[in-house]
Amino acid sequence: MTYYDQVAEAAAFVRIRLGALAPRVGMVLGSGLGAAADAVADPVIVPYQEIPHFPQSTVEGHSGRLLAGLLGGAPVIVMQGRVHSYEGYTPREVTFPMRVLGTLGVRAVVLTNAAGGILAGYHVGQLVALADHINMMGWNPLTGPNEPRFAVKPGAGLRFFDMTEAYSKALRALAAEAADEMRAAGAEGFTLEEGVYLATPGPSFETPAEIRAFRTLGATLVGMSTVPETIVARHMGIEVLGISCVTNLAAGLGATPLSHLEVQETGRMVERRLAALLGRLAPRIAAKVEPDPRVAL
C-alpha cells in the first residue's frame, strides 16, 4: 500500500467516526498543553491506536488521541499529542497526521508547542505567535517523490513552493485580536509577542553554546517539533498559525538545569490561558477558511 493510500485509509476511518462534523480548523497540542482540548464541547474522541497506520505518541505529556467537536462554537479537530523523529519515527511518519487532517478537509491549523525562550525578555509561561522558523532538524519531511494529490487547493502540492509566509500573517492578526480581547476581559499581563522558532531534532536539550549560536542566527525560541508539520501543511496549501509556550528559559539563560518535568509543569500552568485563546480563535479562523467542495456537509 502506498503512503498516499495509507493516509486515505486513515482519513476514511476518522471521517466515519466524525459523522456530520466536518471541521475546517485543526489544532495540534504540544507537550503539557493537551488539556486545552478540554474546552471542546461533546467531543468525538478517536485514540491514535485505533486509526489505521497512525503513529503512536510515546512521550509523557502527550496523550495520543484526536478530539473533534465545537470550540467557541466552531467545529475543530484537535490532536492531543504528536510524534517526533527522536521517538524513532521517519519524517513521513511524523507528518502522517498532518496529511490526514488535510485529507479530512482541514484548511487551517494551529500548531502549539512547548519551547525554550532564547530572547531576553521572554518570561516562563509566555505565549508567542510564530512569525517564521529555522529548520535545524537536518531533514525535510518532503524528501522523496512529490505527491501532488495531497494538495487541498489549486496551486498547492508542488515539488518546490514558497515559504516566505509559512506562518499566515492573517492568522497571526486574528491571534493578536483574540489576545487583545482577553486582556480587555481581564487577562492581566497577557501578551502575544511574535518570535522565530528554531527546531532541533532533540531529544537532548541544547548546550549553552548552541543557544548562543541560535540567537546569532535569529531564533528567539527553540523546540523539537512543529517545523515538519508546518512544511507539510504548506505543501498541501493549509494555512498555519504557530503558537509556542515558553516553558523554560533556553539552556544557559536560567539558573536551573532544564528538565521535561519543568516543561510539563509550565505547560499545565498555561494551558487554561491557551484554551481561552484557542476558544476565541477557533470561530474567527473558521470564518476565514473557505468550505471544502470535496467534503459533503
Neighbours of 173 (CB within 10 A): 12
Per-residue DSSP letter, 69: E
Question: Mask of contacts with ligand HPA, 116-135, x by CB under 6 A?
Answer: x-------------------
Binding mask 67-106 vs ligand HPA (x if CB under 6 A, - otherwise)? ----------------------------------------
| Least distance (Å) between residue 147 CB and ligand HPA | 30
* Given the residues 57, 113, 168, 248, the one annotated as active site: 248
Q: Cell 490526514 maps to which residue? A: 100
- Give the C-alpha distances (Å, rounded to integers) separating 162 from 32, 155, 157, 167: 32, 11, 11, 12
Look up residue 83 and give its three cell numbers.
510524534
Name which of 95 and 112 has its Cβ closer to ligand HPA: 112
Known catalytic membership, residue 224 = yes
Asked if 62 is an active-site residue, the reply is yes
Stretch that binds ligand HPA, among 18-26, 63-71, 182-190, 246-254 (CB under 6 A): 246-254
Classify residue 218 by burial, with Cβ atoms within 10 Å: 0-12, 13-18, 19+: exposed
Strands 239-249, 127-135: pairing kind: antiparallel
- DSSP 8-class letter at 49: G
Q: Which is nearer to ligand HPA, 192 or 224 (CB)?
A: 224
Question: Of these residues, 3, 9, 35, 86, which one is catalytic?
Answer: 86
**Residue 133 or 235 having the CB closest to ligand HPA:** 133
Element (H, E) at 242: strand 239-249
**Which residue carries 504540544 as its cell?**
30
Give residues 172-231 in contact with ligand HPA (rule: CB under 6 A): 205-206, 222-224
Rg (Cα) of the chain, in Å, rounded? 18
- The whole-angstrom separation of Cα 245 and Cα 263 is 9
End-to-end CA distance of the chain: 29
103, 226, 248, 264: which one binds ligand HPA (CB under 6 A): 248
Residue 84 annotated among the catalytic residues of the structure: yes
Contact with ligand HPA (CB under 6 A) among 28, 231, 263, 285:
263
Does 247 participate in binding ligand HPA (rule CB under 6 A)?
Answer: yes
Residue 263 to residue 247: CA distance in whole angstroms:
5
Q: Which residues are catalytic?
A: 31, 62, 84, 86-87, 114, 224-225, 248, 260
Binding site for ligand HPA (CB under 6 A): 114-116, 205-206, 222-224, 247-248, 250, 258, 263
